Structure 1
Amino acid sequence: MSFLHTVLKRIQSSGELRRLQLFEIHSSAFRNKCKDVDLPSNVGALAGKYRRIVLYPEEYTVKPLNVRNLGGRDPVSGRLVIKGIGGGIKRKYHWIEWKREGPKEGPPLVEKVIQIMVDWCRTSRIALVASGDRMKYILATENMKAGDLIRTSQHIPRIPVAAKEGDAYPLGALPVGTIIHNVEKYAGCGGWYVHAAGSCATIVRKMSDRVVIRLPSKEEVSLSQECMATVGRLSNSEHINTPIGSAQRNRELGNRPRSGLWQRKDGRHGRKIRPLPPVQTHDKKTEDDKPEVIQLSLKLDDLYHSKL
């Protein structure tokens, strides 16, 4: 201990400690050639926000909106957050009206379906509906077609209503067992659950002013009876069974390839290359290979007879 104490005192007295600190600071600045920014925190379920930014106008419109592709980078820091995003055909975005608002008393609001179309920024089809002098986009159901009339009401009657496909009612107004989608998490917040193609939720049971629904993931959630929901299953149910088909098609969808970085044989947890076992020789049996016969020379017959 005395030797180390002497060495430390020598370094401090000679000024070498200051030079070591300056060298450490310089070397760390040389190694870390990057901007000092914070990494994004929400990456898991909200990973879609690193694919594109939609340029929304101030007022709602049915005109296709321009987008800015991010390629998996954080829009603030510019760092690469998700590695599987990049390229793709630049598509227009259609502004979906997630809130289905209708009268709370009296007859429901009736809207007409103008057109069923494809939105390349989502999996399910969308429908252009109109009522009066206002048009909007909603998610299309499985059997919806142009010319259909859909109804929207926020009234909860004493007896459950017999809703048709595409109609929007509060959860408390629909009977148990109804197939629904675009369900609100809180009353008035807009559609929160069930947006993917071919998916649907089911009303399981009702408890006073709460309604329990089963999501496509088999999870059950309890919501307020005033939460709005749209009746029916979402369109394009064959999306999950449709293969991409080719690598070029996958690039058009905006998915970046990651091939060649890992191999099964020499990967970290892959199959290791080991030498083959030695060759085993199997010859045809000959007469010399007959089993040896063992004869016993000790006879105990007299012993057995005497005991009997």
Structure 2
Amino acid sequence: MALNKLFTGLTLTSTSIARRTIQTSCYNFASKPNIEKPKPGFGKSYRRIVHFPEEYTVKPLNVTNLAGRDPVTGRLVAKGIGGGIKHKYHWIDWYRKGPTEGPPQEEKVIQIMEDGCRTSHIALVAVGDKLKYILATENMKAGDIIKTSCHLPRIPVKANEGDAYPLGALTTGTMVHCIEKEPGMGGLYIHAAGTFGTILRKQDDRIIVQMPSKRLFSFDQHCMAVVGRLSNVDHGNTPIGSPQRNRWLGNRPRSGLWKRKDGRHGRKIKPPKPIKEISFSNKKQLPAISLSMCP
């Protein structure tokens, strides 16, 4: 009887423990669902979301700042992002469309302005009765007349700064930016301030362009490109200057993570080493060795 009671108690205890484990695991699973945390990179920005309308407009667009968080799950993905001055977004028209035959289309630059959401300056351009934004070149100013043409002539064109032509229509050594990946796709390459690509040579129907990273890219000769170097050349050489301006730019401080004197891999504050005594030891001279011819 005593053994039966003992076995019954053990069975009830093990059953209650198993039930408690299952309930705890179910509660933890329900309260903490298995959500995969996104990883930064892959061309996705966790700094802001721009609310684009259906039709193109030159009105400043509203922006939702993400502060480094994923817009779906709300989890922190990119550290060091948050705060900053609230900026409106100016919609850039990446398509430079012009006539395929005859003289090029002329466009007038109305205004050059800064854009807080990009590094290079932008230009407000009038095309007929429409307005659009483009990336401004280094020496572009209000009142300039720029040309756009999709015609591929037999003789290369000597274009001016801000003009848009197919790569096959430009001479060797021309500085270009906003290059299309495929004809009609819109300017995709070289958007950063002060950058430019250089046309090196022509191979059959392909144009070899040296990118700002010194890599060589081969494009179709019908891909459109804008002539000149992008504006705000001194952007990369301008220091931030103060921690407050770094906060204005939307970068959060990372103080406390690492300290110079006592942090990991930092210079540690240690007591000075004991005095090292330098002395000369009195070495005894070795006895002279006498050699003879006899064994």
| TM-score (normalised: structure 2) | 0.86
Q: Provide the secondary structure at the position in 2 that maps to 1:50.
A: coil
Q: Provide the secondary structure at the position in 1 that maps to 2:146.
A: strand
Distance 1:191 1:134 in 2: 20
Offset of 1:259 from its aligned partner? Answer: 1.1
Offset of 1:127 from its aligned partner? Answer: 0.4
Contact 1:52 1:70 in 2 (8 A): yes
Distance 1:39 1:281 in 2: 60
Identify the residue that residue 256 of structure 1 maps to in structure 2: 252
Identify the residue that residue 77 of structure 2 maps to in structure 1: 81
Q: Which runs of 5+ in 1 are unaligned?
A: 1-9, 284-288, 304-308
Identify the residue that residue 164 of structure 2 maps to in structure 1: 168
Deviates more, 1:240-249 or 1:268-277: 268-277
Q: Provide the secondary structure at the position in 2 that maps to 1:251.
A: helix
The alignment's C-alpha RMSD in Å is 3.0
Distance 2:18 2:212 in 1: 61
Based on CA coordinates, which of the two structures has the bigger radius of gyration? 1
- Structure 1 residues 239-250: aligned runs within 5 Å: 239-250=235-246
Offset of 1:267 from its aligned partner? Answer: 3.6
Identify the residue that residue 66 of structure 2 maps to in structure 1: 70
Amino acid at match of 2:60: P
**Cα 1:239/1:33, change in 2 over 3 Å:** farther
Identify the residue that residue 212 of structure 1 maps to in structure 2: 208
Distance 2:197 2:96 in 1: 17
- Structure 1 residues 43-62: aligned runs within 5 Å: 43-47=40-44, 49-62=45-58
Residues 1:141 and 2:171 aligned together: no
**Cα 1:290/1:53, change in 2 over 3 Å:** closer
Offset of 1:277 from its aligned partner? Answer: 2.7
Instruction: Deviation per CA, 1:124-155: give whole Å up to 9, x if none.
Output: 10000002100100000000001100001111
**Cα 1:294/1:83, change in 2 over 3 Å:** closer
Distance 1:259 1:296 in 2: 69
Distance 1:290 1:256 in 2: 61
Contact 1:198 1:234 in 2 (8 A): yes
Distance 2:158 2:229 in 1: 16
Identify the residue that residue 222 of structure 2 maps to in structure 1: 226
**Cα 1:102/1:278, change in 2 over 3 Å:** same
Distance 1:209 1:91 in 2: 43
Distance 1:219 1:135 in 2: 35
The correspondence for 2:119, drawn from 113, 120, 123, is: 123
Identify the residue that residue 237 of structure 1 maps to in structure 2: 233
The correspondence for 1:132, drawn from 104, 128, 133, is: 128
**Cα 1:196/1:15, change in 2 over 3 Å:** same
Contact 1:182 1:194 in 2 (8 A): yes
Q: Which runs of 5+ in 2 are unaligned?
A: 1-7
The correspondence for 1:90, drawn from 86, 91, 98, is: 86
Amino acid at match of 1:26: T
Residues 1:150 and 2:146 aligned together: yes
- The number of residue pairs the alignment matches comes to 287
The correspondence for 1:102, drawn from 78, 92, 98, is: 98
Distance 2:253 2:242 in 1: 12
